[in-house]
């Protein structure tokens, strides 16, 4: 299959480049800046990402470009453009007039294939302190802003293009047009990557990979593991056994509801209620990272105990998706997150790993789920942390605190599902992720009836996002917020105050712990 290689120089928006390429029905792979797959004939183009570094920094990434430069089309973005200029004899200097944020291409050469269909004065998004003051010999300027003359340039001899702005971000209004010009027109993508083609090819590959072997899959109730299970079920049927562990910190009634959904999908599922063990091991623990590690350790123990009962299993399947693999190890090799399921298998399991969704972004997983005919409420389910409500309770974990948060969260999520806005869409479907947080380390004074109360506040969180790398707080209607706040305070024992979190990521994260 044709593919675009995106070489990652450490930019926060590298994943966005990948998603934009996939939206053009073209497969792409994000690799470290120095890991170009030499000899892979399926590569039809290369994109060089941005970077937090300057080309003049000693620690800046400076790979050898000769394996692909001049042989297949190349597009440099921001740092990628500056490194192309720097390495080919141009000049990159600290800018006196740095550009961050919106800018406009005052001059665009629309005769160049990269800018086909572009409008003059088109808005782009800049984010750089250095600027290219001289382009290499054999190149020509094809786009300029008021402050940056060499905002875009191209080789007159080789298939090489470079832009100092970010076409992958939303604020570059014709960014999709630019990427389509590069990927489809210049690189020649046949646009064969789709949910339907993925299902057909992956089912065939799974049949060949797994043969008559038995597979175990750990279900979480989330979109990724659910789609992975249905995909595997289509490939190998009842040779798949799914295990769903209830650690006691799921949403209200979620264990029963999810088990019912899985049975309706025809999956062979074993449900395990291990909440007593988890609560016991978490007693008195307040450190967020320690809570995560205890839950992870206990999950492995419970899962292993059930998996060993299936003595003839040879594979462990996981719902790992592409962003999990990119986030877990950055290009410097430092672990960013400790709770992804990509750290390897427990040695005592002696199982091979199967990850049928490992190339997909979250929106692609949902498209595959629809292609498989899964119910919409499973496909559109918001992301939910593996440790569950344990990371939405500040302080130690007790069954009573979980009960309080489950009740408050249930009112909030049910309200989001029921509230239909003026566009005819539910609030639940308009936000990326939502949940309630119990501030159990805080008590606030209140008055209920004629009595003074001293109980816990609950914070509500809802964000809009495309990939969770960045997120903005959702502007929920006031009448909805008033209704939910009133219902939580009136119906949930232990809560006398409701707040709304209006911080974005960055600097805040989506979860509180």
Q: What angle do CA 257, 222, 325 make, to 5 degrees?
A: 165
Q: Could you give the CA distance from residue 230 to residue 146 in angstroms, rounded to a whole number?
A: 53
Q: Which pair of structure tokens corresponds to residue 502?
A: 């209006």
Q: Could you give the CA distance from residue 195 to residue 2 in angstroms, rounded to a whole number?
A: 16
Q: Cβ contacts of residue 201 below 8 Å, gap of 6+?
A: none
Q: What is the sign, positive or negative, of the torsion defined by CA atoms of 91, 94, 100, 106?
A: negative
Q: Is 10 left (phi over 0), alpha (psi -120 to 50) or beta?
A: left
- Provide DSSP, 311-325: TTEEEEE----HHHH
Q: Give me the residue label for tokens 């302190």.
A: 129
**Active site annotation includes 104:** no
**Active site annotation includes 264:** no
Helices marked H in 183-318: 195-210, 223-236, 254-264, 275-282, 288-307
The one catalytic residue among 28, 78, 187, 354: 78
Contact 504, 473 (CB under 8 A): yes
The H-or-E segment that residue 54 falls in is none
The angle, 0 to 180 degrees and rounded to 10, between the axes of the packed helices 275-282 and 288-307 is 150
Please tell me the chain's helix, strand, coil percentages from 3-state DSSP, rounded to the nearest 5: 35, 25, 40
Chain centre to alpha carbon of residue 224? 11
The one catalytic residue among 29, 99, 168, 364: 168
The H-or-E segment that residue 70 falls in is none
The one catalytic residue among 166, 247, 340, 456: 166
Helices marked H in 308-382: 322-328, 362-371, 376-379
State whether residue 134 is helix, strand or coil: strand
**Active site annotation includes 166:** yes
Contact 455, 489 (CB under 8 A): no
The H-or-E segment that residue 110 falls in is none
Torsion on CA atoms 477, 456, 402, 462, rounded to nearest 10: 20
The H-or-E segment that residue 218 falls in is strand 214-219
State whether residue 452 is helix, strand or coil: strand
- Residue 55, number of CB atoms within 10 A of its CB: 18
Helices marked H in 419-495: 427-430, 478-491
Q: Could you give the CA distance from residue 56 to residue 54 in angstroms, rounded to a whole number?
A: 5
Residues annotated catalytic, as ranges = 78, 166, 168
């Amino acid at each position: 299959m044709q593919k675009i290689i995106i070489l990652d120089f450490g930019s926060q928006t590298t994943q966005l480049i990948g998603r934009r390429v996939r939206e053009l029905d073209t497969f792409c792979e994000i690799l470290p800046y120095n890991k170009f797959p030499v000899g892979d004939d399926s590569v039809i183009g290369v994109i060089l990402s941005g970077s937090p570094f300057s080309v003049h920094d000693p620690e800046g990434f400076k790979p050898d470009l000769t394996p692909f430069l001049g042989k297949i089309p190349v597009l440099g973005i921001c740092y990628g453009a500056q490194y192309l200029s720097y390495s080919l004899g141009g000049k990159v200097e600290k800018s006196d007039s740095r550009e961050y944020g919106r800018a406009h291409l005052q001059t665009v050469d629309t005769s160049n294939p990269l800018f086909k269909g572009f409008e003059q004065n088109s808005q782009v998004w800049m984010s750089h302190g250095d600027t290219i003051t001289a382009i290499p010999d054999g190149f020509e300027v094809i786009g300029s802003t008021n402050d940056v003359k060499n905002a875009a340039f191209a080789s007159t001899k080789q298939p090489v293009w470079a832009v100092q702005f970010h076409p992958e971000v939303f604020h570059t209004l014709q960014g999709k047009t630019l990427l389509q010009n590069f990927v489809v027109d210049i690189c020649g993508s046949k646009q064969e990557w789709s949910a339907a083609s993925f299902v057909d090819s992956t089912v065939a590959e799974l049949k060949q990979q797994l043969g008559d072997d038995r597979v175990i899959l750990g279900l979480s109730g989330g979109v990724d593991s659910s789609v992975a299970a249905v995909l595997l079920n289509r490939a190998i049927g009842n040779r798949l056994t799914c295990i769903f562990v209830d650690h006691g910190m799921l949403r209200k009634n979620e264990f029963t509801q999810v088990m019912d959904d899985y049975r309706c999908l025809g999956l062979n599922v074993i449900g395990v209620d291990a909440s007593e063990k988890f609560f016991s091991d978490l007693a008195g623990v307040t450190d967020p990272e320690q809570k995560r590690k205890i839950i992870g350790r206990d999950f492995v123990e419970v899962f292993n105990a059930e998996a060993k009962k299936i003595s003839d299993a040879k594979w462990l399947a996981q719902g790992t998706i592409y962003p999990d693999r990119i986030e877990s190890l950055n290009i410097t090799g430092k672990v960013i997150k400790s709770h992804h399921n990509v750290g390897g298998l427990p040695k005592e399991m002696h199982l091979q790993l199967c990850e049928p969704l490992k190339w997909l972004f979250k929106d692609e997983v949902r498209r595959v789920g629809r292609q498989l005919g899964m119910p919409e409420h499973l496909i559109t389910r918001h992301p939910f942390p593996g440790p569950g409500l344990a990371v939405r309770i500040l302080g130690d974990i007790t069954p009573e605190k979980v009960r309080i948060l489950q009740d408050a969260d249930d009112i909030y999520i049910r309200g989001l599902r029921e509230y239909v806005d003026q566009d005819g869409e539910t609030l639940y479907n308009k936000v990326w992720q939502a949940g309630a947080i119990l501030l159990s380390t805080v008590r606030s004074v209140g008055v209920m009836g004629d009595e003074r109360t001293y109980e816990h506040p609950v914070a509500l969180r809802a964000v809009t996002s495309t990939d969770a790398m960045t997120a903005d707080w959702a502007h929920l209607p006031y009448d909805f917020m008033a209704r939910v706040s009133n219902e939580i305070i009136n119906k949930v024992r232990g809560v006398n105050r409701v707040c709304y979190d209006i911080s974005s990521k960055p600097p805040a994260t989506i979860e509180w712990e």
